[in-house]
Amino acid sequence: MDWNEYLDDMKGNLREMHKTHPDMMKGFGALEKGASAGTGVDQKTKELIALGIAIGLRCEPCIGFHIKALAKHGGTREELADVLGVSVQMGGGPALMYASKALAAWDQLIGEKA
């Protein structure tokens, strides 16, 4: 999978969704902004949590977007690996499949190898 192309396509889909249902997208944007605004946990930690949930829910676009956000907020491949382990522990075989996708996404999108 070419993660950059995949995410570009998804961004196009999201732009179309915004045109089709702007109020819903505005509401989702407000939800995202509100969840990010809290100060109890830093943004990197929030991205690690979001990534674990994305793996558990098997959301490939979410994995890619949160991989990029994790790197933006200073996350490392080693921290990613820890989250992947917990995701597999909690989600079993299906989570393992998506954890491997998340690792491939990191390597392709970010490029940092351990």
Domain annotation covers residue 28: no
Q: Is residue 89 part of a domain?
A: yes
In a domain, 101, yes or no: yes
pLDDT digits (tens, 9 = 90+) for 61-103: 999 999 999 999 999 999 999 999 999 999 999 999 999 999 9
Buried b (16+ CB within 10 A) or exposed e, 10-31: eeeeeeeeeeeeeeeeeeeeee
Is residue 106 a part of any domain in this protein? yes
Note whether residue 10 is domain-resident: no
Mean pLDDT score across all residues of the chain: 94
Say what the pTM is. Answer: 0.87
Q: Which domain holds residue 62?
A: 44-114
Confidence of residue 113 (pLDDT cuts 50, 70, 90): low
Residue 100 lies in a domain: yes
- Cα 78 from Cα 76, distance rounded (Å): 5
Decide if 112 is inside a domain. Answer: yes
Total domains, the chain: 1
Query: 41-74 burial, b for 16+ CB within 10 Å, e for fewer?
Result: eeebebbbebbbebbbeeebbbbbbbbbbbbeee
Query: In this structure, what CATH number is given to the domain that contains residue 59?
Result: 1.20.1290.10
Report if residue 32 sits inside a domain: no
